[in-house]
């Protein structure tokens, strides 16, 4: 039987919010040659000021890497952000009939299809049929790169994304909005909250327009 899991994320970069602000301050004050004004607690106030001025290029001096466990619909949208590096689980090379994959395919539960509904039953049936077709193709000598054609959009994948803080702000502003896909918001809103907790000031306003 197909394995069904919920999506998740993990921030892989060790984050010290205060140290990040200090780095941003050092970079930003270069523009004004005001490094003599740096004190032990001046970074937060400095970053607040440059944020209000829209001087966000200095946010590009720190990169954050995040691993997402999600479906391929999620990744198809996310890889459109060009100012990032992506490494993704490949259905061309991964053979889901092997023991390390549990000899099964794993799929991501859709954000807005509830268990116990007819819609959910139809979805589960479609996932099971896809798994059956994949396993039959592999058993009959197909290569994974050919058998993957029957895999569903909701198949579980992993993607590691690295980009700078400014681009993360841009990604989150788009992908947490009410217009974003529910599965995208399901992960991106908690990620935005996590960034807000760990990095003072920088991500404070990202979710202001989210309802």
Domain CATH number, residue 135: 3.30.1360.170
**Quick one: three-class SS letters along 119-150?**
HHHHHHHHHHHHHHHHHHHHHCCCCHHHHHHH
pLDDT tens-digit map of 118-129? 999 999 999 999
3-state secondary structure of 201: coil
Q: Is 55 a domain residue?
A: no
Q: Is 41 a domain residue?
A: no
Nearest to 69 by CA among 151, 183, 150: 183
Residue range of the domain that includes 114:
1-14+64-199
Q: Is 10 a domain residue?
A: yes
3-state secondary structure of 183: helix
Q: Is 123 a domain residue?
A: yes
Number of domains in the chain: 1
Q: Is 53 a domain residue?
A: no
Q: Is 194 a domain residue?
A: yes
Tell me which of 29, 148, 175, 185 is the catalytic residue. Answer: 175
Q: Is 140 a domain residue?
A: yes
Q: Is 191 a domain residue?
A: yes
pLDDT tens-digit map of 114-158? 999 999 999 999 999 999 999 999 999 999 999 999 999 999 999
175 among known catalytic residues:
yes
On the question of pLDDT at 211 being above 80, the answer is no
Nearest to 195 by CA among 13, 72, 25: 13
On the question of pLDDT at 209 being above 70, the answer is no
Q: What is the mean pLDDT of residues 25-46?
A: 92
Return the beta strands (E) in the chain as ranges: 3-5, 8-11, 63-71, 85-88, 106-108, 156-164
pLDDT tens-digit map of 181-207? 999 999 999 999 999 999 989 998 888
Q: What is the mean pLDDT of the chain?
A: 95
């Amino acid at each position: 039987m197909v394995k069904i899991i919920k999506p998740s994320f993990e921030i892989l970069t060790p984050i010290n919010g205060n140290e990040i602000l200090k780095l941003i301050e050092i970079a930003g004050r270069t523009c004004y040659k005001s490094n003599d004004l740096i004190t032990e607690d001046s970074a937060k106030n400095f970053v607040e000021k440059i944020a209000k001025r829209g001087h966000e290029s200095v946010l590009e001096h720190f990169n954050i890497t995040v691993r997402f466990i999600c479906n391929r619909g999620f990744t198809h949208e996310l890889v459109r952000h060009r100012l990032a590096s992506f490494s993704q689980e490949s259905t061309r090379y991964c053979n889901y009939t092997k023991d390390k994959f549990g000899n099964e395919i794993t799929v991501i539960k859709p954000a807005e299809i509830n268990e116990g509904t007819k819609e959910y039953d139809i979805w589960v049936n479609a996932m099971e049929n896809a798994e059956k077709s994949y396993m039959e193709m592999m058993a009959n000598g197909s290569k994974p790169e050919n058998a993957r054609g029957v895999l569903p959009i909701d198949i579980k994948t992993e993607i590691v994304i690295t980009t700078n803080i400014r681009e993360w702000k841009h990604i989150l502003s788009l992908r947490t909005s009410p217009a974003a896909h529910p599965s995208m918001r399901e992960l991106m809103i908690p990620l935005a909250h996590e960034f807000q907790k760990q990095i003072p000031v920088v991500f404070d306003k990202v979710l202001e327009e989210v309802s």
